[in-house]
Amino acid sequence: MDNSKKKKAALKNSKNGNSIKKSEIKKEKWELKLYVAGQTPRSLAAFSNLKKFCDEHLKGQYKIKVIDLLAKPQLAKGDEIVALPTLVRKLPQPIRRIIGDLSNVEKVLVGLQMKSRNGFYK
Amino acid sequence: MNKNSTRIKKVKLPTLKKSSTGINGFDEITLGGLPQGRPTLVSGAAGCGKTLFAMEFLVRGVTQFNEPGVFIAFEENAKELTENAASLGFELEHLIKSKKLIVDFISIDRSEIEETGEYDLEALFIRIDYAIRSIGAKRIVLDTLEALFSALPNDFIIRAELRRLFRWLKDRGMTAIITAEKGVNTLTRHGLEEYVSDCVIVLDHRVSEQISTRRLRVLKYRGSKHGTNEYPFLIDDAGFTVMPITSVEMEHKVSNERVSTGVKKLDDMLGGKGYFRGSSVLISGTAGTGKTSLAASAAIVFCSNNEKCIYVSFEESKAQIIRNMGSIGLDLKQWESKGLLKFYNSRATHYGIEMHLAIIYKMIVEFKPGLIIIDPLTTFLSVGTFMDVKAMVMRLVDYIKNNGITAVFTSLTSGGSSLEETDVGISSLIDTWLLLKDIEQNGERNRGIYILKSRGMRHSNQVREFLLTDNGIILREVYLGSAGVLTGSSRIVQEKMDEEKFIESQLEIDNLTKNLQRHKRVLEVRVEELKAEYESMEDEVIRKIKLNKDKLQRRKKEREQIAESRKVGANGSESKRKGG
């Protein structure tokens, strides 16, 4: 039950998930969008948390796009954004939304379906 | 001193500005509409029409007041809303295309969302702000904000953000409607009333005795008077109609114009001219006394004057009324086809009483009739308790009178109860009360009519017999004699007897006159006879007198002759005398 070090791509290889290593999810490309409103401390915190998280868990296979809704309010509708900051995982499917400043790494893992809610690997 | 007085003069209390909703009747309850630039909470259980109320507020805002609006939907998407609004006769697509209305569906799927630290709802603000700015909206609807509570995990954040949201909407001067689901024992499930406290409207959809009625109540309205009762409302293809029937004031317009009842003799009974325009007329009576016929004849009078008339019938269908009234020479069909007469037929039990009255109210507003007939008023008793019915009917009568509409109500008096009492207890509201009565006598029933009261005019105290003939309604004077009041065949018998008596005595007089004349002629003959007799007697006397006279004269002459002859002998005469 050593949670923090084990992780896995969302859908693939779920049956033998326990033995999967970081390198095995490399094939998948992650496309992430971070919605924020201006350069508030919370937005900045979210961005740095996300960056840290990705570097740790998805090194080299992710792409982050930051969208400032103050500048482009019309984009809020597309991804049904209500709360800020919101991280949207566009790829891999299905779309996932994570709200908050991403300070809780556990929950980010769950939110991105890298880990099931009850703590077990998928 | 001077300063003070000028200051007092200057003070002009700012009153709350209101945004007219354009919803039938609602603006009257709230004396102008929703508070302008403030949020209003519309709360109610599922299916009471919150969304439609809000939608109508927006659509009317665009179409009637040229105020663009934004509809933020959390539960239904734009397509669904458009379809739903179409059922009210609102075409959203057109409004959306012409940039007068924005429907923004915000879907939040709880299963897709994970909370990972602090957040706020700034994006919601941004979206709303964007929508408002893109069309210059003045009105906004948030339907149902509570979806946020189920979609987002942190209540504290949502509450804080909602408070900020309402403040923000207020600062922007948006007239807003926030809908909320009713909680079990609370106004709203999530206590939204805490944040929206300027105006709270509660919609209700209650079922009592298997009949459902929608009701609306203004629970709270800061800075404004408002009607506090529960008002029935209805939703139909023309949108919302709230019936503001409880008027506080008694400011009925009064008319001195008189309107015929349609029955000449009845007009005569009512001071010769009929009842007052704008008055309420009650025709009460037991079954089959001719209430409907009398009401229909009043309708004919109005229609022939080119005035509109609404006929509300709870017992007969339109076709049946037209046929039945046709049988006594009252042609309702022609007026119906000319659009002057409108029927509303409905089973009383089809809706609750409030609903009926709301429908009637709506018809009055739309059709603007001069006369409304409700036949019979007592049917309402089958859909409500006595107190309910009484209260509602009073409101209706009040409303009708306030609008200067003449009303004819019929009331069925159930057998056994006092005739001077209506089952719905509204006699005090009635200006003219006609009582129809069965007079049972000699094995037959006849109709009698009399005027129980008629405010503000001379009226007859007589009972009249009421006949329904092929040519309409005819009133006959009943026979009032030593045998009491006679009607029907006994009246006819009595009248025949009277007639015979009259003829008899007429004959007698004729005879006497003839006799007298004969007698006169006889007498005249006799007078002639006597006259002739007299004349003959007179003639006789004259003749005799004349004869005598002649005799005397002759004798005198003779004597003179003799004397003469004696003188001739000189003293002859003396000697003769001597000698004599």
Q: Answer yes or no: do B280 and B426 share one domain.
A: yes
Using CA of residue B343, residue B348, residue B353, residue B355, what is the dihedral sign?
A: negative
At residue B554, the pLDDT reads 93
Alpha-carbon torsion, ordered B507, B508, B511, B512, to 10 deg: -150
- B8 occurs within a structural domain: no
B31: CATH: 3.40.50.300
Question: What is the gyration radius of the CA atoms in chain A, in angstroms?
Answer: 15
User: Which residue among B108, B117, B121 places its CB closest to the CB of A100?
Assistant: B117
B264 and B383 in a single domain? The answer is yes
Domain end call among B477, B501, B516: B477
Residue A122 and residue A9: Cα distance in Å, rounded? 9
* Highest-pLDDT range among B209-213, B332-336, B346-350, B553-557: B553-557
Residue B164 lies in a domain: yes
Strand A96-99 relative to strand A86-91, pairing: antiparallel
Question: Per residue in A63-81, pLDDT tens?
Answer: 888 989 888 888 888 888 8
Flag if B130 and A76 touch (Cβ within 8 Å).
yes
Instruction: With CB atoms and an 8 Å threshold, state whether A83 touches B119.
Output: yes
Q: Which residues contact B563 (CB under 8 A, 6 or more apart)?
A: B573
Q: A110 to chain B: which residues are within 8 Å by CB?
A: 114
Residue, of B246 and B64, whose pLDDT is higher: B64
Tell me whether residues B130 and A42 touch, CB distance under 8 A: no
The C-alpha of A37 sits at a distance from chain B's nearest C-alpha, in angstroms, of 7
- Whose CA is closest to B33, among B196, B229, B242, B249? B242
Please name the residue that has the structure tokens 């009133």: B475
Let me know if residue B571 belongs to a domain: no
Cis amide bond preceding B68, omega within 30: no
Q: What is the pLDDT of residue B175?
A: 93
Q: Which residue has the tokens 């069965």?
A: B438
- The predicted model gives B399-415 an average pLDDT of 82
Show Cβ contacts of residue A12 under 8 Å, excluding neighbours closer than 6 positions: A25, A28
Q: Which of B65, B70, B66, B124 is nearest to B92 (CA)?
A: B70
Whole-number Å distance between alpha carbons of B260 and B267: 6
Q: Residue B269 domain-assigned?
A: yes
Q: What is the pLDDT confidence band of residue A27, given thresholds at 50, 70 and 90?
A: low
Question: How distant is the alpha carbon of residue B306 from its chain centre?
Answer: 17
Q: Are residues B495 and B458 in the same domain?
A: no
Please compute the mean of the pLDDT values over residues B159-173 and round it to a whole number.
Answer: 90
Rounded mean pLDDT, B151-156: 82
Nearest C-alpha of chain A: how many angstroms from B111?
9
Task: Identify the CA nearest to B450 among candidates B425, B430, B478.
Answer: B478
Contact present, B361 and B221 (Cβ < 8 Å): no
Select the residue from A36, A82, A106 to test the B interface by mutation, using most B Cβ atoms within 10 A.
A82
Tally of domains in chain B: 3
Instruction: Provide, as residue numbers in chain A, all residues whose Cβ is less than 8 Å from the Cβ of B123.
Output: 35, 37, 69, 76, 81-84, 86
ipTM of the complex: 0.75
Asked whether residue B300 falls in the same domain as residue B164, the answer is no
- Tell whether B159 and B265 lie within a shared domain: no
pLDDT at B527 over 90: yes
Express each pLDDT in B202-217 by its tens digit. 998 887 766 677 888 8
Note the pLDDT of residue B232: 79
- For residue B136, pLDDT beyond 80: yes
- The CATH classification number of A28-111 equals 3.40.30.10
Side-chain half-sphere exposure of B261, counting CA atoms within 13 A: 32
Does B152 lie at the interface with A, CB-CB under 8 angstroms?
A: yes
- Does B235 share its domain with B129? yes
Which token pair is A37?
């409103």
Residue B548 is predicted with a pLDDT of 93
What is the rounded average pLDDT of the residues A9-26? 44
Distance CA B269, CA B262 (A): 12
Residue B423: predicted pLDDT: 60
Least trusted range by pLDDT, from A84-93, B234-243, B455-464:
B234-243
Q: Which residues of B touch A84 (CB under 8 A)?
A: 119-123
Distance from the first to the final alpha carbon of chain A: 13
Confidence of residue A12 (pLDDT cuts 50, 70, 90): very low
Which of A42, A73, A99 has the CB atom closest to B115's CB atom? Answer: A99
Q: Does B114 touch chain A (CB under 8 A)?
A: yes
* Interface with chain A: mutation pick from B102, B104, B122, B148, highest number of A CBs within 10 Å: B122
B210 and B343 share a domain? no
B85 pLDDT exceeds 90? no
- pLDDT for position A3: 43
Nearest to B328 by CA among B304, B360, B305, B296: B296
Edge-to-edge, what's the strand order for the sheet holding B432-441? Answer: B341-345, B309-313, B371-375, B406-412, B280-285, B432-441, B444-454, B464-469, B472-477
Number of Cβ within a 10 Å radius of residue B527: 10
Contact between A82 and B112 using a beta-carbon 8 Å cutoff: no
Q: What is the mean pLDDT of residues B469-488?
A: 73
Average pLDDT, whole number, for chain B?
Answer: 83
* Span B415-438, pLDDT tens digits: 655 656 666 567 777 888 888 888
Whether residues B460 and B531 share a domain: the answer is no
pLDDT at position B465, please?
82
The DSSP annotation for B189-251 comes to: TT-GGGT--SEEEEEEEEEETTEEEEEEEEEEETTS----SEEEEEEETTEEEE-----S---
Quick one: pLDDT at residue B514?
94
Cα-based distances in Å from B579 to A57, B561, B562, B574: 219, 20, 17, 8
Residue B579 lies inside a defined structural domain of this protein: no
pLDDT digits (tens, 9 = 90+) for B337-391: 888 898 888 877 777 777 787 788 888 888 889 999 988 888 777 777 777 777 7
Cβ of B120 within 8 Å of Cβ of A95? The answer is no
Tokens 């049956």 sit on residue:
A15
Same domain, B447 and B419: yes
Average pLDDT over residues B272-288: 85
Going by pLDDT thresholds of 50, 70 and 90, the confidence category of residue B193 is confident
Please state the domain extents for chain A: 28-111
Average of per-residue pLDDT across B70-98: 88
Which pLDDT value is given to residue A90? 85
Which residue, among B433, B429, B431, B426, has the nearest Cα to B283 in the 3D structure?
A: B433
Q: What is the pLDDT, as a whole number, of residue B249?
A: 55
As a three-state string, the secondary structure of B53-122 is: HHHHHHHHHHHHHCCCEEEEECCCCHHHHHHHHHCCCCCHHHHHHCCCEEEEECCCCHHHEEECCCCECH
Asked whether residue B451 is domain-assigned, the answer is: yes
* DSSP category for residue B17: P
Q: What is the pLDDT of residues A79-119, one digit of tens each?
A: 888 888 888 888 777 788 888 888 887 788 877 777 655 55
Domain boundary among B187, B216, B242: B242
Amino acid, res. B160: A
Residue B317: which domain range?
Answer: 258-477
Is residue A10 pLDDT above 50, yes or no? no
- Min Cα separation B149/chain A (Å): 12
Residue type, B207: V
Lookup: tokens for B500: 């015979």
Q: Tell me, what's the pLDDT at A83?
A: 85
Helix, strand or coil, per DSSP, at residue B324: helix
Determine the pLDDT at residue B1: 45
The minimum CA-CA distance between B109 and chain A, rounded to whole Å, is 9
Q: What angle do CA B544, B545, B551 make, to 5 degrees?
A: 90
Q: Are residues B86 and B104 in the same domain?
A: yes
Bigger pLDDT: B389 vs A53: A53
Distances (CA, A) of B435 to B105, B329, B416, B480, B485: 61, 22, 15, 19, 16
Looking at beta carbons, which residues of chain A come within 8 Å of B108? 80, 82
Q: Mean pLDDT across the stretch B314-320? A: 87
Q: Measured between beta carbons, which residues in chain A are less than 8 angstroms from residue B117? A: 46, 49, 100-104, 107
Mutation target for A interface from B116, B125, B133: give the one with most A CBs within 10 A. Answer: B116
- A50: nearest CA partner in chain B: B116
Q: Is residue B9 part of a domain?
A: no
**Where among B477, B497, B517 does a domain terminate?**
B477
Contact A3, A119 (CB under 8 A): yes
CA A74 to chain centre: 23
Query: Both B283 and B215 in a single domain?
Result: no
Q: Give residue A9's pLDDT band: very low, low, confident or very high (50, 70, 90).
A: very low
**What does the pLDDT read at residue B494?**
79
The answer to whether residue B10 sits within a structural domain is no
